[in-house]
Amino acid sequence: MGLHSLALCVINSVKRNYPPDEGAHIALRTVRRFLEHHGSSFDIVIFAVDNTDLGIYEVLLPLYFPRSKFEEDAARWQLPSDIGGHDGEPMLPDRQIRIIDNPQHTLHADEESIDLSSQLETSINVGEHAFSQMQGDLDQQRLLGERPFNDPLADIMVKEIQHQERYERLLRRAKTEDLTEVSGIGCLYQSGVDRLGRPVVVFIGKWFPFNKINLDKALLYLITLLDPIVKGDYVIAYFHTLTSSSNYPSFSWLREVYNVLPYKYKKNLKAFYIVHPTFWTKMMTWWFTTFMAPAIKQKVHSLPGVEYLYAVMSPDQLEIPAFITEHDMTINGLRYFQPGAPT
Percentage, residues of the chain above pLDDT 70: 77
Share of residues in the chain with pLDDT > 90 (%): 31
Q: Which whole number is the average pLDDT over 261-287?
A: 90
- Looking at residues 178-193, what average pLDDT do you find? 92
Are 46 and 9 in contact by the 8 Å Cβ rule? The answer is no
User: Quick one: angle between helices 152-176 and 251-260, nearest 10?
Assistant: 100
Strands 300-303 and 188-193, bridge-based pairing: unpaired
pLDDT at 119 over 80: no
Q: What is the pTM of this model?
A: 0.56
242 φ/ψ angles, rounded to the nearest 5 degrees? 55, 30
| Residue 123, pLDDT above cutoff 50 | no
Task: Give the angle subtended at the CA of 304 by the CAs of 219 and 343, to the nearest 5°.
Answer: 130
The Cα–Cα gap between 296 and 274 comes to 13
What is the third-level CATH fold of 5-90? Answer: Leucine Aminopeptidase, subunit E; domain 1 (3.40.220)
* 83 pLDDT tier (thresholds 50, 70, 90): confident
Q: Is 21 helix (H, G, I), strand (E, B) or coil?
A: helix
The average confidence (pLDDT) of the chain is 80
> Is 70 exceeded by the pLDDT of residue 71?
yes
Phi, psi at 25, each rounded to 5°: -60, -45
Q: Per-residue pLDDT averaged across 300-311, rounded?
A: 90
Residues forming CATH 3.40.525.10 domain(s) in the chain: 177-330
**What is the average per-residue pLDDT within 55-79?**
84
Domain at 177-330, CATH homologous superfamily: CRAL-TRIO lipid binding domain (3.40.525.10)
**Confidence label for 88 from pLDDT (cuts 50, 70 and 90):** confident
Please write the tens of the pLDDT for every residue from 193-205.
Answer: 999 999 999 999 9
How confident is the model over 321-341, as pLDDT tens digits? 999 999 999 888 875 544 444
The reported pLDDT for the residue numbered 141 is: 57
* 90 Cβ contact list (under 8 Å, min separation 6): 26, 82, 84
More confident of the two residues 91 and 314: 314
Q: Measured over all CA atoms, what is the biggest interatomic distance in the chain, rounded to whole angstroms? A: 86
Q: Considering just the CA atoms, what is the radius of gyration of the chain in Å? A: 27
Residue type, 321: P
Average pLDDT over residues 201-210: 94
What pLDDT, on the 0 to 100 scale, is given for residue 185?
Answer: 93
Q: Boundaries of CATH 3.40.220.10 in the chain?
A: 5-90
* CB 42 within 8 Å of CB 54: no
Task: Provide the pLDDT for residue 89.
Answer: 80
Range from 12-21, 233-242, 305-314 that averages highest in pLDDT: 233-242
- pLDDT number for residue 339: 46
User: Cβ distance 227 to 190 under 8 Å?
Assistant: no
Report the side by side order of strands in the sheet with 300-303: 188-193, 199-204, 234-239, 269-275, 300-303
